[in-house]
Chains A and B, each alone.
Chain A
């Protein structure tokens, strides 16, 4: 079946450093790739997403890159801050039986930013 692999499972960086989280997906028909951030005890929240017709998207300190040929996409966080500490989930969409899309999630990356 379809799956999304996410690495690393944990990542510790010093404040100010960059963090990179990588995901690979299996379904070549996937066309939407969101990233969610989940702080401890809180809901997952969308932080950035990318469609299959672009290769890169940036929003301030956060960027996502997509390589459709290799079927992988990455989240890049620059100038990390302690408030970036959270679990980050990648996901890939799979359309089925109509318009509602289904997201397959990765297992998550626990990012710890050390002050």
Chain B
């Protein structure tokens, strides 16, 4: 399969549960991202990994914990979430060599998360 793949597509979890979102990219990119998409709001950047190192943590609460074991895989570990965390969580990847300032993002289909 090509592109960016996210699993699961849908997730319902209670506030006390622990779950993980998975993202895999088959594009050979070296940067991966987590975005949150809520209704009537701009896409919010949560985390950025470049060459498997976290380069951005955009003031995200600690109940969201990212993990990037290699350049092809990205996880978002969730625990003790709140109902307002319900949203579509999008993973993306891009190719960002040193000194290159712009490269398109390739998004996955997202995980629709509902916190009850």
Contact = CB atoms under 8 A, between A and B. Distances in A.
Interface string A32-55: 101010000011111001010000
Contacts of B43: 44, 89, 91, 103, 105
A103 to B, nearest CB: 7
Interface residues of B, number: 28
A3 to B, nearest CB: 8
A95 B110 contact: no
SS class of chain A's interface: helix, strand, loop or mixed? strand
Contacts of A97: 55-56
Contacts of B101: 31-32, 93, 95, 99, 101
Interface in A76-115: 89, 91, 93, 95-108
A81 B102 CA distance: 30
Nearest to B50: A100
Nearest to A107: B42
Contact of B41 (A43, A98, A100, A107): A107
Contacts of B98: 98-99
Contacts, number: 75
Of residues B42, B45, B96, B107, which shows the largest number of chain A Cβ atoms within 10 Å of its Cβ? B42
Contacts of A36: 105, 107
B109 interface: yes
Interface string B65-97: 000000000000000000000000010001011
Given A4-B42, A107-B41, A98 B107 contact: no
B112 to A, nearest CB: 9
Contacts of B102: 31-32, 49, 51, 93, 101
Contacts of A93: 101-102
Given A43-B90, A100-B56, 7 more contacts: A97-B55, A97-B56, A98-B98, A99-B98, A102-B56, A107-B40, A108-B42
Interface of B: 4, 31, 40-43, 45, 48, 50, 55-56, 90, 94, 96-110
Q: Top 10 A-B pairs ranked by shortest CB distance?
A: A32-B102, A105-B43, A43-B107, A100-B50, A105-B42, A100-B96, A46-B104, A43-B109, A44-B107, A107-B42
